[in-house]
């Protein structure tokens, strides 16, 4: 089943998620405060995925059933405040890794997470944590070391998680239900750990966490 997806943020992660969504043949709208960036990315993703419908869009246009905040975590909070009730009932995907500016620590307290903080701002949206443990280039490629990427998905709304899992599966990846939204605390810890390892393992943001079994 295809769905309509609005990706806000045409940066590296927005690009990676746009590729995943487009591989599944969905309708993908890309929004960026820089309209040229949105148009350029939409054209690239459309050309690479002729089976999808990919277009640039603006925040004042219609939003998709799924809205992905592909931004820095503080910008996601600003977006939540700005869009407010327009997000009611929609699946809102938080992909953020809330790090300090020097990337050396998590910027949220241990008894919450960026995803839970975001959900409190938009209580009638269905917030799902996903994609924060995967890097942009690996989402474009769809795999690392010959194995499909794992996308860990946390949230309190089972249908919302299933929607994201379907999107992930249709894009050639493996979705794993990681539990309730509170589990975002561990997912953000894993994202942070993965980022740290880029610098010590010299993996150049080309690595992936795999749940092997």
Out of 1, 60, 109, 123, the only residue in the binding site for a copy of itself (CB under 8 A) is 109
Question: Using the rule CB under 8 A, is 102 a contact of a copy of itself?
Answer: no
Shorter beta-carbon distance to a copy of itself: residue 163 or 207: 207
CB of 157 to a copy of itself, least distance (A): 16
Integer Cα distance of 108 and 90 in angstroms: 25
* DSSP E strands, 109-197: 126-129, 143-144, 147-148, 150-155, 174-179
Q: Say if CB 59 and CB 86 are below 8 A apart.
A: no
Shorter beta-carbon distance to a copy of itself: residue 4 or 196: 196
Region for 2 from its dihedrals, namely left if φ exceeds 0, alpha if ψ lies in -120 to 50, beta otherwise: beta
State residue 158 phi and psi, 5-degree precision.
-60, -40
Site residues (CB under 8 A) for a copy of itself, limited to 179-198: 179, 183, 185-187, 189-190, 192-194, 196-197
Helix, strand or coil, per DSSP, at residue 91: strand
Question: Using the rule CB under 8 A, is 144 a contact of a copy of itself?
Answer: yes
CB of 208 to a copy of itself, least distance (A): 5
Shorter beta-carbon distance to a copy of itself: residue 101 or 211: 211
What's 62's DSSP letter? P
Name the site residues for a copy of itself (rule: CB under 8 A).
Answer: 109-111, 144-145, 147, 152, 176-179, 183, 185-187, 189-190, 192-194, 196-197, 200-201, 203, 206-213
């Amino acid at each position: 089943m295809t769905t309509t997806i609005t990706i806000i943020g045409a940066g590296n992660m927005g690009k990676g998620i746009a590729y995943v969504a487009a591989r599944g043949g969905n309708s993908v709208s890309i929004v960026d405060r820089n309209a040229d960036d949105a148009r350029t990315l939409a054209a690239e993703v459309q050309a690479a995925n002729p089976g999808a419908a990919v277009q640039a869009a603006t925040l004042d246009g219609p939003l998709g059933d799924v809205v992905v905040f592909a931004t820095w975590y503080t910008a996601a909070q600003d977006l939540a405040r700005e869009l407010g009730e327009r997000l009611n009932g929609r699946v809102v995907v938080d992909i953020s890794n809330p790090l300090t500016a020097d990337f050396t620590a998590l910027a949220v307290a241990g008894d919450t997470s960026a995803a839970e903080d975001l959900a409190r701002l938009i209580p009638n949206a269905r917030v799902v944590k996903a994609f924060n443990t995967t890097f942009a280039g690996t989402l474009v490629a769809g795999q690392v070391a010959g194995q499909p990427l794992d996308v860990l998905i946390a949230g309190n709304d089972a249908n919302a998680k299933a929607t994201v899992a379907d999107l992930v599966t249709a894009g050639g990846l493996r979705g794993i239900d990681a539990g309730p939204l509170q589990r975002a605390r561990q997912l953000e810890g894993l994202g942070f750990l993965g980022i740290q390892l880029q610098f010590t393992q010299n993996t150049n943001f080309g690595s992936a966490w795999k749940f092997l079994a």
